[in-house]
Each structure stands twice: as C-alpha cells, then as structure tokens.
C-alpha cells in the first residue's frame, strides 16, 4: 500500500509481555536481527484491524501499531520495514497496490490474504441473518470460490511476489477458527453453523497452503495458536460482532496479534 511506518515502542518490553502471557505452545523464540528488508503485505489480519492504536499514516487501512508485522519488526530490527497491508485487500489489490515495496534486497515477506476474496463478510452476514439453510448455502458458495478463482488469483500474486523479491523468504500465514464450540456464548449462531464457519476456514487455509507451497513459500498455520481463544471462549483473542465497529468484528484483538500471530511468525521466519 502507500505509507509504511513502524510505531515507536520498547521492543524488549513488548517481547517480555508477549512471553509472560503466552502459553508454552505459543512462546516466542529468541529474536534475531534481519540484514535485509521486511515487507508486510495482505489484508486486515496483517494490518491489525481490531487491535486498536491505528497509525495516522494508515488509518484508512486500519494499520495498527499492535499488528504482528510491527511487533516483529521492532523485535528483529530489519534493515527496512514497509507496512503495506490494508483492511479489505484481496489478492488482486495486493497484486496491484502493495508490491511496489518489494525489491532485490527484500529478505522477508509476510502475507495474509484470501478471506476477502471468498466473501467471508457476506458469509458471516448470511449465517447471522439467513438461518441454517442460508448459512450453509453461503459457506458452500465460498468453498467453490476457494477452489476456483481464488487459487488462480493466489498463483498470480505469488508469482509476482517471487519475481519482485527473488531472494526473500516468504511466509504466508493462515486464519484462525472463528468460534470456540460449546463455548460461553448464550446468544448468536448455533454450534452447527459455527462449526460450518470453522470448517470453511480450514478449507480456505488448505487452499492457501497448497498454492503457497507450490511456489516454494512457507505456510504458517495459526489455528493451534488460537485454540481456546476463539469467539465464545473464556479468553477470546478475536472480536465478536460489534455494530459500532463492524469492520473490526471477527478480527484479532491486540493479544491475538501478539500472542497468536507473532509467535507463529517468529518460528516460521
């Protein structure tokens, strides 16, 4: 996207806080310095929508100082950092609007993309308003898109990333399950529809992982990191529906970024 920026902060304190509250399975590895540049591409899960503390230079994209790319850059001190991820970006938007930050000296690229392409916002709306039949129909259409046009869009995007950053390590991160089944939510969707949404996330992750590995990229699965922290859990790291901040619904909170995504990226990079 347009305006890269790293939020100021004490990286040692950020790391200490993350490690102090992380479960053993999500504990961070020791930080290391990265000689080349780091470019963070993708959609709202990478920009940090839902985490708050949005940067003035990327407010329209919901770029947060608490997003995992910012935290990773603060901890590892890359030679340069470009924060290009933007709320709502699909594969085509990343391809046409974000790749200008890549180059021969790029050492690391991270990316979350695919949810917007499959219309997950519409799927969730259908499940919330359309009953079981409407929900399952919307999920089925989304899965068809994942297996069809999304695969082609990812191939074009991944090929372009490799062409522009031939020496970079590329880490493609997936999406967490949205719901903790048999959880604490007394209202909302029944567990059958919550399970259908989780299954759709699994299918989306499988498609993304397959195309990423076909291009020699690393796929980093975050579902285990978020296990027990989905919506309806006792300690959710994802926002539920918020009618006053609808674009932040179903997105990771600040702990979801620092304790969910960040440790997974640290291990994968």
Identify the burial level of 216 via C-beta atoms within 10 angstroms of its C-beta, where 0-12 means exposed, 13-18 middle and 19 or more buried. Answer: exposed
Q: Is 44 a catalytic residue?
A: yes
Catalytically annotated residue among 47, 65, 251, 258: 251
Reported in sequence order, the residue ranges of 13-125 that DSSP labels E, i.e. its strands, are: 37-42, 80-83, 106-112
Q: Is 177 a catalytic residue?
A: no
What's the token pair of residue 99?
A: 């790749």
N-terminal to C-terminal alpha carbon distance within the chain: 22
What's the token pair of residue 160?
A: 């372009």
Put residue 119 in one of left, alpha, beta given phi > 0 → left and psi -120 to 50 → alpha. Answer: left
Residue 112 forms beta bridges with which residues? 42
Catalytically annotated residue among 44, 47, 258, 269: 44
Active site residues: 44, 251
């Amino acid at each position: 996207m347009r305006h890269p920026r790293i939020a100021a902060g004490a990286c040692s304190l950020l790391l200490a806080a993350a490690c102090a509250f992380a479960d053993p399975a999500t504990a961070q590895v020791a930080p290391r310095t990265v000689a080349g540049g780091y470019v963070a591409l993708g959609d709202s899960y990478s920009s940090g929508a839902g985490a708050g503390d949005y940067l003035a230079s990327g407010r329209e994209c919901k770029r947060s100082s608490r997003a995992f790319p910012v935290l990773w850059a603060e901890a590892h001190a890359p030679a340069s950092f470009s924060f290009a991820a933007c709320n709502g970006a699909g594969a085509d938007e990343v391809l046409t609007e974000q790749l200008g930050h890549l180059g021969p000296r790029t050492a690391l690229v991270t990316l979350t993309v695919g949810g917007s392409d499959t219309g997950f916002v519409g799927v969730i709306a259908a499940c919330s308003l359309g009953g079981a039949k409407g929900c399952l129909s919307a999920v089925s259409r989304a899965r068809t898109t994942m297996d069809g046009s999304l695969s082609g869009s990812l191939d074009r995007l991944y090929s372009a990333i490799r062409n522009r950053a031939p020496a970079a390590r590329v880490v493609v991160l997936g999406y967490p399950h949205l719901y903790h089944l048999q959880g604490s939510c007394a209202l909302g969707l029944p567990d059958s529809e919550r399970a259908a949404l989780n299954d759709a996330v699994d299918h989306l992750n499988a498609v993304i992982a397959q195309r990423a590995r076909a291009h020699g990229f690393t796929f980093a699965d975050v579902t285990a990191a978020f296990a027990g922290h989905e919506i309806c859990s006792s300690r959710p790291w994802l926002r539920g529906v918020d009618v006053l901040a609808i674009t932040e619904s179903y997105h990771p909170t600040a702990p979801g970024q620092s304790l969910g995504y960040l440790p997974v990226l640290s291990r994968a990079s």
